[in-house]
Amino acid sequence: MSNSVKTIYLKDYQAPDYLIDETHLKFELFENFTMVHAELHIRRNPDKQSDELPELVLDGQELELLTVVMDNVVINSNSYTVDDKSLTLQPNKNSFILKTTVRIHPETNTALEGLYKSNTMFCTQCEAEGFRKITYYLDRPDVMSKFTTTIEADQQSYPILLSNGNQIASGQEDDRHWATWQDPFKKPAYLFALVAGDLWCVEDSFTTMNQRKVDLRIYVEPENINKVNHAMTSLKNSMRWDEEVYGREYDLDIFMIVAVSDFNMGAMENKGLNIFNTSCVLARPETATDMAHQRVEGVVAHEYFHNWSGNRVTCRDWFQLSLKEGFTVFRDSEFTADMNSRTVKRIEDVAFLRTHQFAEDAGPMAHPIRPDAYMEISNFYTVTIYEKGAEIIRMLHTLLGKEGFRKGTDLYFERHDGQAVTCDDFVKALADANAIDLTQFKRWYSQAGTPQLEVLESYDSATKQYHLTFKQFCPPTPNQEEKQPFVIPVKMGLLNKQGQDLPLQLVGEGTLVGDVILITEAEQTFTFANVGEKPVPSLLRDFSAPVKLKFAYSKDDLLFLMQHDNDGFNRWDASQRLAIEAIQQQVVNYQAGNPMVLDSGLEKAYASLLADSSLDQAMVAEMLSLPAENYLVEISEVADPDAIHAARQFIRQQLANNLKGQFLTHYQANRAVSQQEAYRATADHIARRSLQNMALSYLMLTDDPQVLTLCLDQFKHSDNMTEQLAALTNLVNSPYESEKQQALVDFYEQFANDPLVIDQWFAVQANSQAGDSLARVVELMKHEAFTIKNPNKVRSLIGAFANNNLTGFHQKTGAGYQFLADQVLALNTMNPQIASRLLTPLTRWRKYDEERQQLMKAELERIMAADKLSSDVYEVVNKSLV
């Protein structure tokens, strides 16, 4: 029953009673079952003394226990107890060898956790608590063991047999063959991996900083062999970058990546054998967009970086998840910034954080980056743990500076190599290496919620002093009413009339380090001296803290910052503030039934962006894109989906009409280059295509048949998915019904054999702004290419509709909500992790009007009333309804 789901608390953490020094596994893979033989070398934990030998409680779920042998003595079932979660034994020695045999069923495992099948191959996903579905074990990250794994399978169907570490033996008997792998590094069970299948691989090598040659292999199903070059290049770049920036060298002789079609998340950092969702490995120009290429690069780097931040130094318990995830996201985002455009990467990351993480912080699942309680750990692989976690690490980087941060991470890796540690250990290493007190800073680890930072200015021309008063306030979150002040690093500048930065000279109280002031109090005033004229402040440059900054900028200030701020991020942010104001005014007009109008300031700003050829194209594209509907929802007091959509659309339409000539010039110039140059996924090419496609999307709003011709030409005659998909998206959202239908048919035919492209085809339709999108989604669920068992399909059709199609999902009848709840219920038993993630939009019910709130809550209650709710779904629904 669902109400048997227990809450686990950080404060209850206990070190394990027993440790497992060695783990020897043997898998016999068959079509209808798999046998798992485990030999565990167990001893008491010397750090936990007691007179009596404690019971040994091994985790295990959905296992059919066949034999138990302790030090070669068969244990009969009177001497142990088994329930649906564990196997309990009473040892009589301090150290012993336990052998178990279990039968499991990967062939019917639809949860995609533990050992399962994806297409014809066997693969594993053990993080966080999946290993217990493979064998009885101490399935917790502070139990680290040396693994030796033998896999035996049919030679014909499964020619490739892989596990962590190095292959040390292999053999053949009749039609079956076997291979033994050994991982020399101790690791927790969540990093275990096994793969068996008919796979092809691309091989390459990397020579480390100490001249060791590492064999690199990317394994895929044969039809994908021509799509791995980009991932391989990304991998080599990541390996070099981690040596150069962190001094971290790879530590095995072989590094493998396997691409699987059915995967709950992006990828998994198993030691020496990363397993990836195909969507995060496969990319070639004709089938993957620029965005997809960048995702591959980022995820390959992320998983590779985990080898140090996660594997060599791992988490003591799952409350510490952000120890590895926040740090690794920070590492991969800096890598991406170094490989591409730093400012664009920052803009993308901040837009994502503000849209998704700020919304999570404001909802019922809000939690600090180090939570103190959970029911189902799978629910805590969140934007808070990952993206906000990365922002906290970024602030530490800002506080310590590049060198100080490196000193800190060097000490962290040196001190804790081979250990399972806590966030406190991480911060302590950084503090010790820099002789700095981070006690107050650590509130970022324990307090949830997005702080608001309100800033007031005053200028005294007689004394030439300029004052900034900062007030921080963090709204209450579940179980956290009151918050203590955070340490907020505010990177800033003061601009004179010419747009130049004035020298910052602080007088009186407060700390200024370089161009960063430190806010540490609930309210604090900073005084700057020798300020000859009233400046325009540029605050929170580079988004130096994950807060909501409130400052009463005038429209002129924003236009000024947009043009002159020497911080690229703040130039973009000024453009967003300007656009938000313009849209929010039209929301009010729409709701009052008044005519909507286009703000002339915004139009002028856009016109000058389009006219200035000296600007970075990537920046122009970013600044020309209006804030996403989801973000407009997040910043609304009460979000009105129809008004938000109508207002944003109105402004897009007006800008398109009024600036058509300029958009056309940009479009044609960039499209011409696209036609001349071979596709490359480099920052400059990506920038050009994003500006081209941005221009096209505005132009398509002008109802000009000449533009339709351009769009159709781009759809039919581009050599890359970035251009083709952008054209398709525009057609699908256009009034040209027959062209739209034809394009969808043609696209499907062209790519019917490529599941990842068909995912895009589903997503484009799920996001369609045509009024019948829900009916369309329901229809598409019956399409031959759709299956609810594949998470990528679920995300691209159902997920895209519920998360991105604001008016479709929030239609007043409640039909969108009902549809989503039906899918959650269907997935609840099939794949609980996916079911629970799919729920997110319903948990945000407090954002909407009374009527929608009732409809959304009714669906949550309907889910709550269902039989056999998984702990995953139960936790989210339960917390959403209190």
Active site residues per annotation: 303
d(CA 592, CA 588): 6
Residue 446, burial from CB neighbour count under 10 angstroms (0-12, 13-18, 19+): middle
Type of residue numbered 733: N
d(CA 8, CA 573): 40
Q: Pick what 195 binds: Zn ion, ligand TRP, none; C-beta below 5 to 8 Å, kind-dependent.
A: none
Which part of the chain contacts Zn ion (CB under 5 A), choosing from 130-138, 237-245, 317-325, 810-818? Answer: 317-325
224 or 277: CB nearest ligand TRP: 277
299 or 694: CB nearest ligand TRP: 299
Q: Which helix (H) or strand (E) holds 89?
A: strand 86-89
127 or 640: CB nearest ligand TRP: 127
294 or 692: CB nearest Zn ion: 294
d(CA 285, CA 681): 8
309 or 828: CB nearest Zn ion: 309
**Taking CB under 5 A as the criterion, which residues in 668-697 touch Zn ion?**
none
Q: Pick what 264 binds: ligand TRP, Zn ion, none; C-beta below 5 to 8 Å, kind-dependent.
A: ligand TRP
**Which parts of this chain interact with ligand TRP (CB under 6 A)?**
125, 127-128, 264-265, 267-269, 302-303, 325, 378, 381
- Residue 74, strand partner residues: 69
d(CA 768, CA 730): 10
Smallest distance, ligand TRP to C-beta of residue 358, A: 21
Smallest distance, ligand TRP to C-beta of residue 408, A: 22
Smallest distance, ligand TRP to C-beta of residue 694, A: 31
**Residue 310 structure tokens:** 């996660």
**Taking CB under 5 A as the criterion, which residues in 318-347 touch Zn ion?**
325, 328
Which residue, among 121, 116, 187, has the nearest Cα to 154 in the 3D structure?
A: 121
d(CA 871, CA 111): 13
Residue reference for tokens 């079932």: 77
d(CA 585, CA 654): 15
Q: Pick what 336 binds: Zn ion, ligand TRP, none; C-beta below 5 to 8 Å, kind-dependent.
A: none
State the pairing for strand pair 86-89/160-163.
Answer: unpaired
Ramachandran assignment for 508, one of left (phi > 0), alpha (psi -120 to 50 degrees), beta (any other): left
Apex 81 CA angle, 76 and 83, nearest 5: 130
Q: Pick what 127 binds: ligand TRP, Zn ion, none; C-beta below 5 to 8 Å, kind-dependent.
A: ligand TRP
391 or 573: CB nearest Zn ion: 391
Contact 678, 617 (CB under 8 A): no
Which residue, among 809, 808, 864, 875, has the nearest Cα to 837 in the 3D structure?
A: 875
Smallest distance, Zn ion to C-beta of residue 310, A: 7
Inter-axis angle of helices 568-592 and 342-352, nearest 10: 40
40 C-beta neighbours (distance < 10 Å), count: 23
Contact 75, 89 (CB under 8 A): yes
Smallest distance, ligand TRP to C-beta of residue 275, A: 8
Smallest distance, ligand TRP to C-beta of residue 66, A: 28
Residue of closest CB approach to ligand TRP: 265
Q: Pick what 619 binds: Zn ion, ligand TRP, none; C-beta below 5 to 8 Å, kind-dependent.
A: none
DSSP 38: E
Smallest distance, ligand TRP to C-beta of residue 306, A: 6
d(CA 321, CA 299): 18
Type of residue numbered 615: L
Type of residue numbered 658: N
Binding mask 175-214 for Zn ion (x = CB under 5 A): ----------------------------------------
Contact 167, 180 (CB under 8 A): yes
125 or 409: CB nearest ligand TRP: 125
Contact 524, 470 (CB under 8 A): yes
389 or 832: CB nearest Zn ion: 389
Smallest distance, ligand TRP to C-beta of residue 474, A: 27
Smallest distance, ligand TRP to C-beta of residue 263, A: 7
d(CA 403, CA 126): 36
Q: Pick what 128 binds: ligand TRP, Zn ion, none; C-beta below 5 to 8 Å, kind-dependent.
A: ligand TRP
307 or 617: CB nearest ligand TRP: 307
Smallest distance, Zn ion to C-beta of residue 603, A: 43
Task: Concatenate the DSSP letters of all residues of 434-485 into one string.
Answer: HT---TTTTHHHH--S--EEEEEEEEETTTTEEEEEEEEE---BTTB---PP
Which residue, among 551, 495, 557, 483, has the nearest Cα to 522 in the 3D structure?
A: 483
115 or 623: CB nearest ligand TRP: 115
Task: Give how many residues touch Zn ion by CB under 5 A.
Answer: 2
DSSP 145: B
Q: Pick what 378 binds: Zn ion, ligand TRP, none; C-beta below 5 to 8 Å, kind-dependent.
A: ligand TRP
Smallest distance, Zn ion to C-beta of residue 325, A: 5
d(CA 650, CA 635): 19
Smallest distance, ligand TRP to C-beta of residue 378, A: 5
Which residue, among 788, 832, 825, has the nearest Cα to 133 in the 3D structure?
A: 832
Rounded to an integer, what is the distance from CA 456 to the centroid of its chain? 35
Contact 300, 234 (CB under 8 A): yes
Report the number of secondary-structure helices (H) and strands (E) in the chain: 30, 34
d(CA 691, CA 688): 5
315 or 728: CB nearest ligand TRP: 315
Any alpha helices (H) in 33-125, and if so which ranges? none
Smallest distance, ligand TRP to C-beta of residue 118, A: 13
| Three-class HEC string of 812-864 | CCCHHHHHHHHHHHHHHHHCHHHHHHHCHHHHCHHHECHHHHHHHHHHHHHHH
268 or 651: CB nearest Zn ion: 268
- Residue 27, strand partner residues: 36, 151
Give me the phi and psi of 840, to 5 degrees please: -45, -50
349 or 557: CB nearest Zn ion: 349
Q: Which residues bind Zn ion (CB under 5 A)?
A: 325, 328
